[in-house]
Amino acid sequence: MEKEGNLSTLSIITLFSMLFSWIFIHRLKQRNVKGPKTWPFLGAAMEQLMNFNRMHDWLVEYLSRSRTVVVPMPFTTYTYIADPANVEHVLKTNFNNYPKGEVYHSYMEVLLGDGIFNADGELWRKQRKTASFEFASKNLRDFSTVVFREYSLTLFDILSRASYSNQEVDMQELLMRMTLDSICKVGFGVEIGTLDPSLPENQFAQAFDIANIIVTLRFIDPLWKVKKFFNVGSEAVLDQSIKTIDDFTYSVIKRRKAEIEEAGVINKDEKIKHDILSRFIELSKDPESNMTDKSLRDIVLNFVIAGRDTTATTLAWAIYMVMTHEDVAEKLYLELKEFEKDRAEEEGVSLNTYQEDNPESFNKRAMQFAGLLSYDSIGKLYYLHAVITETLRLYPAVPQDPKGILADDVLPDGVKVKAGGMVTYVPYAMGRMEYNWGPNAASFNPERWLKDGIFQNISPFKFTAFQAGPRICLGKDSAYLQMKMALAILCRFYEFKLVPGHPVKYRMMTILSMAHGLKLTVSKRSLDSKEMRMLEAHKGTR
């Protein structure tokens, strides 16, 4: 009996010795690895979970030491890349080997379904072809210009009232409302009125944000499938959020279908509106398209995340950058003032005088200025374009974008990647790498984009805010149009100040939104004698 006890004790000691030896050898192998610490079974999950709320900056730390970082996880391995050569290989050269993949699709399916951002192969190509045709339409471009101007002026009016009452506003929330109204009008032909002066509660937007956060958490939560199966914890919250999202989305589809049907009954020859949803609804009438209301639902939600979240968050970061960099704010203001004067002379428009304390004259002048902002004329605002692009360099709307790996491959820098894993290019980190942008990479410097005052494009594999290769963002021009329209109107007439003590940091979700919004106060700009002198000096240097 004593002998059996000794054998049991010896077996336990041997087992633990082998386990600790394995862990010791594993840790020894990690000494020269430039990535995070990993453990048997768990990989780097512990360190990722501990750094979840600052994961983008966590990756900056590793990618600044190595252009490629391998992060093993319990069920897959992530390879993060920040070198433009590697990015070009993944997004273009060997594009077919790096689809969204089954892993990514399974994480995002509940929210994005089989929409364009979550689809691969023929399904993706069909959606892209239809959307590409629509984005190239002059009708859509002209309609978008009118809609973006209209909603920018609606936001202008809300800020005007806030300035008179010295009221604090959450700029990110207002921008989200503006872009949601815009994408529903331009993309789906419906008005939903979330930017109404009463600022009605928006359950869809709240549910969409919650769902976005939870599906992002799935990427590092090995237990999400268990929670989903039992419908507990974050997955139970996600389930409720999706129900709210679906109620809204299917109502949009139903409304648009009814409008199309009614238009056809009233006038057989009347063409339907050329919004994106209408085109897909027409496609769904073809039995061979295999499109259902669920397909249309996925399309709507993919364009919502593209047209609402990305544009609104970029505008919020841009306003934050402008108001925290006084020299940038001044240069932008002077460009807008000079533009206003020159365009008024070209159009033969006599600009109304205004006083900041006279709401009626102030608003009329803003409407005059907005009327000078056409699709073509707004393209001449090079410094404004540089401000937005520099914002996207440091605060890209999509901070990281994972791709699946179909077959084993070797990246240009020699790193081997295995089938079944994930490769993620990281725009947030790429914009902060000195090996990409030089020693002032971390500085906000719009001038880096200008040569002799003219904006200069660079390789999309270095500036990856709109992706690159076959999946490059179709809505890039439309996004710039809306952002320039809104910023031009707002920065021409307002100054912004951050509410004292308000924290500004990102929230971990697929889109780089601000965790606590952007709380600020608004005041009207007046052209004093100092600014007049600066304007004349600026004009003399042209």
10 part of a folded domain? no
Rg (the chain; Cα; Å): 26
Give rounded-to-5 percent helix, strand, coil for the chain.
60, 10, 30
- Section 345-359 average pLDDT: 83
1 part of a folded domain? no
The answer to whether residue 537 scores a pLDDT higher than 60 is no
Per-residue tokens: 154: 């609606």
pLDDT for 321 equals 98
Find the range with the poorest average confidence among 276-285, 304-313, 430-439, 453-462: 276-285
What is the phi/psi pair of residue 264, to 5°? -70, -35
The length of the chain in residues reads 542
pLDDT digit string, tens, across residues 514-536: 999 999 999 998 754 444 444 45
- Section 163-175 average pLDDT: 96
- Picking from 446, 346, 439, the residue whose alpha carbon sits closest to that of residue 393 is 446
The answer to whether residue 66 scores a pLDDT higher than 90 is yes
The answer to whether residue 5 scores a pLDDT higher than 60 is no
Cα gap 436→430, rounded to integer Å: 7
pLDDT for 262 equals 82
- Section 254-278 average pLDDT: 72
Measured CA angle at 538 (ends 534, 341), to 5 deg: 90
pLDDT for 539 equals 52
Categorize the per-residue pLDDT at 21 as very low, low, confident or very high, splitting at 50, 70 and 90: very low
The answer to whether residue 338 scores a pLDDT higher than 50 is yes
Residue 216 contacts residue 104 (beta carbons within 8 Å): no
Q: What is the CATH number of the domain that holds 38?
A: 1.10.630.10
The answer to whether residue 272 scores a pLDDT higher than 90 is no
- The string over 496-526, giving b where at least 16 C-beta atoms fall within 10 Å of a residue's C-beta and e elsewhere, is bebeeeeebebbbbbbbbbeebbbbbbebbe
416 part of a folded domain? yes
pLDDT for 192 equals 86
Question: Could you tell me the CA-to-CA distances from 173 to 192, 199, 394, 518 in Å, in that order?
Answer: 16, 10, 21, 8
Number of domains in the chain: 1
- Can you say how many angstroms the Cα of residue 335 is from the centroid of all Cα atoms in its chain? 27
Q: Looking at the DSSP assignment, which residues form a beta bridge with residue 496? A: 522
pLDDT digit string, tens, across residues 443-459: 999 999 999 999 999 99
- Section 485-500 average pLDDT: 98
Q: Residue type for 291, please?
A: M
8 part of a folded domain? no
pLDDT digit string, tens, across residues 298-320: 988 998 888 899 999 999 999 99
pLDDT digit string, tens, across residues 72-113: 877 788 999 999 999 999 999 999 999 998 888 999 999 999
Q: Looking at the DSSP assignment, which residues form a beta bridge with residue 521? A: 497
392 part of a folded domain? yes
383 part of a folded domain? yes
Per-residue tokens: 185: 């009008």
Cα gap 345→355, rounded to integer Å: 21
Query: Is residue 184 marked as binding?
Result: no
What is the phi/psi pair of residue 514, to 5°? -85, 135
The answer to whether residue 385 scores a pLDDT higher than 90 is yes
- Picking from 499, 509, 423, 432, the residue whose alpha carbon sits closest to that of residue 463 is 432
Q: What percent of the chain has pLDDT over 90?
A: 64
49 part of a folded domain? yes
Which residues span the domain enclosing 176? 34-540
